[in-house]
Chain A
Amino acid sequence: MTFAAATAESTNVGDPLLNIAIFGGFVAITLVVVLRASRNNKTAADYYAAGRSFTGPQNGTAIAGDYLSAASFLGICGAIAVNGYDGFLYSIGFLVAWLVALLFVAELMRNTGKFTMADVLSFRLKQRPVRLAAATTTLAVCFFYLLAQMAGAGGLVSLLLGIDDRIGQSVVVAVVGALMIIYVLIGGMKGTTWVQIIKAALLIAGAFIMTVWVLAIYGFNLSSLLGAAADKGGEAVLSPGLQYGLTGLSRLDFVSLALALVLGTAGLPHVLMRFYTVPTAREARRSVVWAIWLIGVFYLFTLVLGYGAGALIGKDTILAAPGGVNSAAPLLAFELGGPLLLGLISAVAFATILAVVAGLTITAATSFAHDVYASVVKKGKAGPGTEVRVARITVVVIGLLAIAGGIGVQGQNVAFLVALAFAVAASANLPTILYSLYWKRFSTRGALWSMYGGLGSAVLLIAFSPVVSGAETSMVQGVDFHWFPLTNPGIVSIPLGFLLGWLGTVTSRTLENPRIAAEMEVRSLTGYGAEEATKH
């Protein structure tokens, strides 16, 4: 009964054929661009780092395209529409986090690395163990994030295309995965970057149009918009507390989440890898500046859109729609511009998933081929051609795994995976990045303890948290083996990652080579000897 009602509703809102047609147009345009961009893919630097030929503004737009996932767009709009202020809190953490990347990480990483995060972390420490550890955390973060995106694709289908049955959703997940494999296989980093640039432009333009529209309805007066949202959803939507303020535990959980958000971004491997696609550290800085402005302005739009959806559509209608919270932005688009605007926003949402999974896949494949295969297995003696071939094979394997995973987790509550990816990035990656760039004494043991300790503790705590078992919304039902009370591990695992890095270093008896440490410091700050753009 409820299933039939949901189906009727999802097919009533908008026109699935129109949505598919607009998305098909996006795919066609981006495929042409990817094919044109891939003509110069010859060397590893071309395939992994787009020949380091993008400008700062281009790369900054691509970073925004990489970073603003469906969770950012649909999730935050929905969270603000339903929970008011607490949804806004989420977006602030995502933005402020970029200052860590700008001030401490971006330029120094660009100056000392070649393709991956592991390049920088293993620069002055023992190559193979550190590279392996960094590749492990890279693959873990990419895997969690990828699974979350693919699961999101399945959910979007029921919402936007009116496909509710399991087989139909699985087919769409497989189509999204197959498209992603094609983009990354053919286009490499260059193709992936163009997909992200086009997607970011569409997403920000779409959000801008809707924002102006909503503001126009309320006479460009923020206070009247807020008043309308409060009339419909209650005064509480204007104040913090609806989502996180219920109990002492949920408040602590939010502190834990805030910690992971603000410290995680600068440790996300797919974000770090984007810094290698520009020719110099100065362009890397410009990239982050562009990304900060675009992402910041976008989150300001989501504030208006979220409250707009709360005021114009209302919490109850949103929660009753097929996609639940995620349906706020699409329903608002339909309310404002009818089926055409809904079609555009739906296509943008799909493009978002496609661009984000492409970025994650190329990052994971590069890390596997460059760090694990070429450096650890072949001990640096693999021919450059074989390395890229391994990367391409890895792309296909990861793509297939992502499709299988996306189909496998359908219907399960895996929303915690994005938060877990940020927590792992903040606990396992950021401490080692900061220590190796700024602490002379930092040692191999410190790096290994911090990376494995941060990764292990974050995953372990999540496994024994209420998101996996013991609560109504848990992934596993019927058994209860949870003992960690919070749903975000960051408040424990992040300090632990920093502590282990320090402890491992001060207990090391062997000193690292001071000559290479000096070389790394001089190169990181001056850019001397940094990888240059390839010329075709």
Chain B
Amino acid sequence: MSNDAPGAATREPVTDFEQAQASEPFQRLKRRHRSFVFPLGIAFLVWYFAYVLLADYAHEFMSTPVIGNVNIGLILGLGQFVTTFAITTWYVSYSNRRLDPLADEIRGDLAAGAHSDGGVR
């Protein structure tokens, strides 16, 4: 037999994470995160594999000179560096503007006892 008479035990507040998960701000955060990282992730993987397949199977095309000894292959390869740096910068600025403030707000609410049963004292 467990002793669960009111006032007999004390415990920490329990957060209802299912409620927190269903809340509008959290759903907004999740949407903002996924709607950014999923399309961008697919895009850079497609671009990377397009490049790999070109380098692997289209040697003639990649060898076409553009400026001096610099050919299309080298420009596309350096392009992979440029897009990697650009996506990194873009993601950081998106997170700073759109994700972090909202995540901070939700975390603050949770810490202040939102979606919690207040515990038993």
Residues 245-268 of chain A, each 1 if its beta carbon lies under 8 Å from chain B, else 0: 100000100110010001000000
Which residues of chain B are near A289, meaning CB under 8 Å? 88, 92
Residues 24-37 of chain B, each 1 if its beta carbon lies under 8 Å from chain A, else 0: 00100110011001
Q: Cα distance A300–B80 when bound, in Å?
A: 11
On whether the beta carbons of B52 and A238 are closer than 8 Å, the reply is no
CB distance from B74 to the nearest CB of A (A): 7
CB distance from A442 to the nearest CB of B (A): 16
Q: Cα distance A251–B58 when bound, in Å?
A: 11
On whether the beta carbons of A525 and B92 are closer than 8 Å, the reply is no
Specify which of B30, B40, B63 is in contact with A103 (CB 8 Å cutoff). Answer: B40
Residues 93-121 of chain B, each 1 if its beta carbon lies under 8 Å from chain A, else 0: 00100001001001100110000000000
CB distance from A133 to the nearest CB of B (A): 25
On whether the beta carbons of A293 and B69 are closer than 8 Å, the reply is no
Specify which of B15, B44, B56, B87 is in contact with A245 (CB 8 Å cutoff). Answer: B56
Specify which of A85, A227, A230, A519 is in contact with B55 (CB 8 Å cutoff). Answer: A85
Q: How many A-B residue pairs have CB under 8 A?
A: 139
Instruction: State which size class the interface on A falls in.
Output: 35 or more
On whether the beta carbons of A92 and B106 are closer than 8 Å, the reply is no
CB distance from A430 to the nearest CB of B (A): 12
CB distance from B25 to the nearest CB of A (A): 9
Residues 60-77 of chain B, each 1 if its beta carbon lies under 8 Å from chain A, else 0: 001100011111011001
Specify which of A99, A223, A515 is in contact with B44 (CB 8 Å cutoff). Answer: A99
Which residues of chain A are near B95, meaning CB under 8 Å? 285
A123 within 8 A of B: no
Q: Knowing that A88-B74, A240-B62 are A-B contacts, what are 10 other residue pairs whose CB atoms are under 8 Å apart, sorted by A's residue number?
A: A88-B77, A96-B44, A223-B67, A223-B68, A223-B70, A240-B59, A254-B52, A258-B49, A438-B34, A518-B17
Residues of A within 8 A of B (CB): 85, 88-89, 92-93, 95-96, 98-100, 102-104, 222-224, 226-227, 230, 238-241, 244-245, 251, 254-255, 258, 262, 282, 285, 288-289, 292-293, 296, 299-300, 438, 514-515, 518-519, 521-523, 525-528
Which 4 interchain pairs have the tightest Cβ spacing? A223-B68, A226-B69, A519-B17, A239-B63
